[in-house]
Amino acid sequence: MSSTPSNKFLPSPKTVAVVGCPFSGGQPKLGVDKGPIHLVQAGLINQVEELGWRVVFDGHHQFEDISPPSNGIQVNATDDAAVDTLNASIARLRSPLFVAQVCESVASVVQAHAEMGHLPVTLGGDHSLAMGTISGTLRAYDQACVIWIDAHADINTIHSTDSGNIHGMPLSFLLKLNPPAPSPDSVLAKFDWVSHLPAERLVYIGLRDVDKGEKEILKKHHIKAFSMHEVDRYGIGKVVEMALDHVNPQRDRPIHLSFDVDALDPSVAPSTGTPVRGGLTFREGHYICEAIHETGLLVALDLMEVNPALADAESVRQTVTVGCSLVRSALGRSSIHCYVRCVHCS
């Protein structure tokens, strides 16, 4: 049976807008763009409807009118060392114009659904998409907070990133940690549309693979993070309570929950691009979703980084099944019922 406390921000009839985003441009591995398709094919739409939600799903966004630039970013050397450093950092980024355009499109879609009183559930796709989803949420709910569930911090700046993969950078754009665009035609200016998320309204759960530069960023900006060490020490129930106390002390702010499946241990969700051992258990991941649902404050949900191309068929089925069950838990279904139902539907 479902458990459905009243949501403090959503009108009746309660409506979920499933936003399928088959996008992989924020990282180099093929296949993550197929994640949303597999989740929907597993019966996710019907499963959400069975929880009593009205579901709006107009198909997956194909971004037909957006295409990646045919050439790399060209920058010219100057006599200004600071400018040259900035240009070198920009040149390391992978497909920044493409990512910026796609995420801006996603932001508009999420914003439109949120302003209609829908709860957007965005299926990725790589986690660079969160620039768009969270921006869309903040446009509709300017006091929203973000609970980010991930093995990684995804807060590298253009200067700290080693890979240039923007799926490891969305929060640096949302927190406005990158340098301002030096000119209107700069690549960085293409990210000016990104909404600002104050650092005190962000909290992490599940971190265990954080780059050195990211650790410095978290410390410098006093960003609250509960790593797997804290999960082991305090238990997931206490960690979720402390996380909520930090970003939502009065329990009056809308919540955007952004869940990367690599937060889960690879034994639970093996088919993802950057798995890291020692992650959340099946129950811990589902408890987070259940607890956020029980607040009655959830206004947007991301499920990111399911990659059906990176494992055998059984591992893909397992990861997709778990992805379905996480969504259902965040929308009011107890995890054991959700898991059984997803197995039947996959």
Active site residue 127: yes
Query: Tokens standing for 278?
Result: 């020692």
- Active-site pick, 104, 126, 154, 230: 154
- Active-site pick, 33, 104, 126, 150: 150
Q: Rg of the chain over CA atoms, in angstroms? A: 19
In the chain, what is the greatest distance between 2 CA atoms, to the nearest angstrom?
Answer: 67
| Strands of 298-304's sheet in order across | 54-56, 15-21, 119-124, 298-304, 255-260, 145-149, 202-207, 224-227
Contact in structure between 170 and 130 (CB atoms under 8 Å): yes
Active site residue 152: yes
Active site residue 80: no
Active site residue 260: yes
Contact in structure between 229 and 205 (CB atoms under 8 Å): no
Active site residue 33: no
204 CB-near residues (< 8 Å, 6+ apart):
148, 149, 150, 153, 223, 224, 225, 226, 227
Omega before residue 125 within 30° of 0, cis: yes
- Active-site pick, 38, 113, 152, 256: 152
- Active-site pick, 113, 127, 256, 293: 127
Query: Tokens standing for 53?
Result: 């939600």
Query: Tokens standing for 138?
Result: 């903040």
AA identity, residue 253: R
- Active-site pick, 104, 214, 262, 265: 262
- Active-site pick, 38, 113, 167, 286: 167
- Active-site pick, 209, 214, 260, 284: 260
Active site residue 126: no
- Active-site pick, 126, 209, 302, 305: 305
How many CA atoms lie less than 13 Å away from 74 in the CB half-sphere? 3
Catalytic residues: 127, 150, 152, 154, 167, 260, 262, 305
